[in-house]
Amino acid sequence: MAAPDDQARGFPPVCTRSDLVLILGSFPGRSSLEKREYYGHRTNGFWPIMGQLLGFDPRISYPERLQRLKINRVALWDVLTSCSRSGSLDSSIERDSMVVNDFEDFFEKNKFIHTILFNGSLAEAEFNRKVLKNTPLQARKMAMYRLPSTSPAMAMLNLAQKTDAWSILVDLLQDKPENKDMKEN
């Protein structure tokens, strides 16, 4: 389903064919769209959390941060490819304007992903509502976890508490398949 012209469009996935974990947000906020960067708002905790967990300085350039995700076999994308909303909050997304990304094609090309981490509740809810029932993901039996949103709007947890919750990522990356399995792709 094509998006109407008045809808904001999201970003392509950041991924390699050997990723193990997919982090899914809902849709980029206004600041991210303007900068053309995932989690581009200066107060979003995503990059500081990733930097701490994956061992890099979150102040490095955006292309270098994306490369660090790829090196660690972490894919990044959003559930929605387009939507209409005023402002940046998920709660302001017009529900009937949501268009989801093509996950069937994505998972066909990224067969090593074994876990999805949702960055907040809307990403999880819309994935379950609009994606899961329409794709063969159930047969793959991927693990799925909703984690606290890294957005500053999720103020009930501080950055340290969010980082602690997101530390599951490190454990999930320890479950890397043997190199021989990599040759299947």
Q: Which domains does the chain have, with CATH numbers?
A: 12-175 (3.40.470.10)
The residues near 85 (Cβ < 8 Å, ≥ 6 apart) are 8, 27, 92, 93, 94, 97
The burial of 124, by beta-carbon neighbours within 10 Å (0-12 exposed, 13-18 middle, 19 or more buried), is given as buried
Catalytic residues: 44
Find how far residue 98's CA is from the centre of its chain: 17
Q: What is the pLDDT of residues 80-122, one digit of tens each?
A: 998 877 765 665 667 777 889 999 889 889 989 999 999 999 9
Region 145-171 average pLDDT = 95
Please tell me what DSSP assigns to residue 85. B
The pLDDT-based confidence of 168 (bands split at 50, 70, 90) is very high
In angstroms, how far apart are the furthest CA atoms of the chain? 48
Split at pLDDT 50, 70, 90, the class of 124 is: very high
Give the pLDDT of residue 93: 66
Between 180 and 145, whose confidence is greater?
A: 145
pLDDT (mean) for 161-182: 76
Could you tell me the CA-to-CA distances from 56 to 35, 66, 69, 136, 151 in Å, in that order?
Answer: 21, 11, 10, 35, 20
Per-residue pLDDT band for 136 (boundaries 50, 70, 90) equals: low
Provide CB contacts within 8 A for 80, sequence distance 6+. 10, 26, 27, 93, 98, 99, 100, 101, 126
Residue with tokens 């994306």: 66
What pLDDT sits at residue 184?
Answer: 34
Is the pLDDT confidence value at 20 over 90? yes
pLDDT at 140 over 80: no
Region 141-147: mean pLDDT is 91
pLDDT at 183 over 60: no
